Every structure is written in structure tokens, then in C-alpha cells.
Structure 1
Amino acid sequence: MAGNSQAMTGLGIVIAMKATANATTYTDIGEPTDITPPQSMDDEIEVTHYNSPNGTKEFIGGLTDPGECTFTINYIPDGATERLILGAKALRKPRGFKLTWPNGVTWTFDLLIRGFQPTAPLNDRLTAEVTGRVSGSVVITPAPSGGA
């Protein structure tokens, strides 16, 4: 007989960023509603040669592209989160981010904020989507012992 599922929802995820390049702490991003974490993809390098088995292409792994991270927030024009994000975007340099999953596992990475897109529907909440490019590795840290 199969055991109980360990599936979880995203409720409780926290996404935070360093307010300045030299900050040692993270500031929570206000009211995130949808987060797409970075997807790490390796480049492929073709190494096919005249004697490749069965005339089939061969590949090896190349550099890792850490991908993009996007998230949507409830948008408050000129709010603290907007000022934090647009301030980092204006500098055109990666900023430290931390994603804390509901079970306490954390992903930390540097993110170059490239896009900030508010939307204003007639009969719904204001939102803004933030798009960034990860620079360098994503560091995954297990939850603290006895944590969530």
C-alpha cells in the first residue's frame, strides 16, 4: 500500500532581495502571487565525428545557463516593493535574492532585474511582473534541522 503524499502548496513561499549590493540581510518582496524559479540548463556541444556509432550525433555538456526568474506581485504604485525593485533595476547589476520554500529549503542567487511590467485590469487587482536573469550559480541550502 502506498504511503501518504508529501506534496505541498506554494503557500508560505518567501522571495526576498538584498536592498543594496553590500547588504548582509534580505528584504521581503511584498505580496508575491506567482513565482517561476530559475531553470538551470546546460549548453550542448556537438562532438560528432566520422566514426560516430550508427551515424548518430553525439553531444557533451557545456556551460550551465542558470536561467531566468520571474515573479508577480500585487502592485502598489510607488510602494516599497516597487521602489526596491526599480532601484536595483536602474543600477543594471545583479542583486542578491533568496527564495525560501515552505519546508525551509532556500535557494540563493544573484538576479539581474531586466523587466518590470505593471498591469491595470478594469475589474481586478493591479499586478506587476518582474523578470530577471540569474547571474552565477543557484545555491540550494537544506532546511535547518528541526525546521518546517
Structure 2
Amino acid sequence: MTTDIGFQTEVLVGTNIAAVTATVLLAGLKAVTPPALSRGEADITAMGEPDFLKQFIPGLTDPGELPLELNWLPDSDAEELLREMFAERQSRLIMIRFNMVTPRVTCSFRGFLRERTPTVPMEDGMTCAATFRVTSKMTWGTVA
């Protein structure tokens, strides 16, 4: 197994909140961090546990967030879509497509735009950080 660079990775979103396919490409993607699953825990330690050891059981799973960075143009289709998604306060279908492997691997889930932060430096490219909150189970698959 070899490691590859993330070049050509894409993030797509549904055209609206009812869409069942993610078809709108978020153009200008610079970086993406796939959601990290984490699990809570419940402390079930009772008085008198042997060996003074705490006892735990697994708790609920947090599906995480999808942070990404885009090249930012105030009048771009991607920026218009982000503003629309933020205003609607609803989850949409989101898909990460890893195009550097064959067959291409996808990760799909529903999520809402939690934050978007444009940055306009004096001597560098304008960017926008966006964070989507995952609201469903992630489904992994492949496409030809």
C-alpha cells in the first residue's frame, strides 16, 4: 500500500435540502479534513470497586465536523452557495470524493454549515474557512 497526496479531492453538496445526491461541487477547495468520529463514555464506578479501578462503558458517538478551506471570491458560485446554506439552517447531503485512488472512494453524510470565515490578507490569496457539522451516519462507498 502506498500513500498518495490529496490532490483532486472534491467536496460536493446537494442542490437543496431535499436532494438525495450531492451534485454541486464546492469549487476552489484547498484543504479538507474528513470528519473524525469520537465516542463519549459513562463512568459507572460504584463504591467499593475492587482494586480502586474506575469502570466505564461506551457512550454516544459524535460524528464530528468537516472543516475545509476554499479559495475565496466574494462573487463566486461557491460563496453564494455557502451564504445560502448558512441562511437556510438545514442539513444537506454532503459528499467527499477521493479521486486519487481507483476506484474512487466516497464518504457521504448530511450536515449543516456551522461557520464560514473569509480571510482577506494584504499579500496572499483570499480564502474562506468553512465548517460543516455532521448530522447523520457517514456512508463510505466507491464509484467508477
Q: Secondary structure at the match of 1:85?
A: helix
Please state if 1:9 is matched with 2:25: no
Q: Aligned match of 1:59 in 42, 56, 59?
A: 56
8 Å contact from structure 1 (residues 112, 135) kept in 2: yes
Please state if 1:50 is matched with 2:68: no
Question: Normalising to structure 2: TM-score of the pair?
Answer: 0.91
> What is the alpha-carbon distance in structure 1 between the residues aligned to residue 15 and residue 138 of structure 2?
19
Match of 2:120 in 1: 120
Match of 1:99 in 2: 96
Match of 1:84 in 2: 81
Question: Normalising to structure 1: TM-score of the pair?
Answer: 0.89
Q: Aligned match of 2:17 in 14, 21, 26?
A: 21
Deviation at 1:42, TM superposition (A): 0.9
Sequence identity (%) = 28
What is the letter of the counterpart of residue 19 of structure 1? T
> What is the alpha-carbon distance in structure 2 between the residues aligned to residue 105 and residue 60 of structure 1?
33
Listed one character per residue, the Cα deviations across residues 30-55 of structure 1 (whole Å, up to 9, x for unaligned) are 01001111111111111112343311
Match of 1:35 in 2: 32
8 Å contact from structure 1 (residues 37, 69) kept in 2: yes
8 Å contact from structure 1 (residues 19, 84) kept in 2: no
Runs of 5+ unmatched residues, structure 2: none
Q: Secondary structure at the match of 1:88?
A: helix
> What is the alpha-carbon distance in structure 1 between the residues aligned to residue 123 and residue 38 of structure 2?
39
8 Å contact from structure 2 (residues 19, 92) kept in 1: no
8 Å contact from structure 2 (residues 115, 132) kept in 1: yes
Q: Secondary structure at the match of 1:105?
A: strand
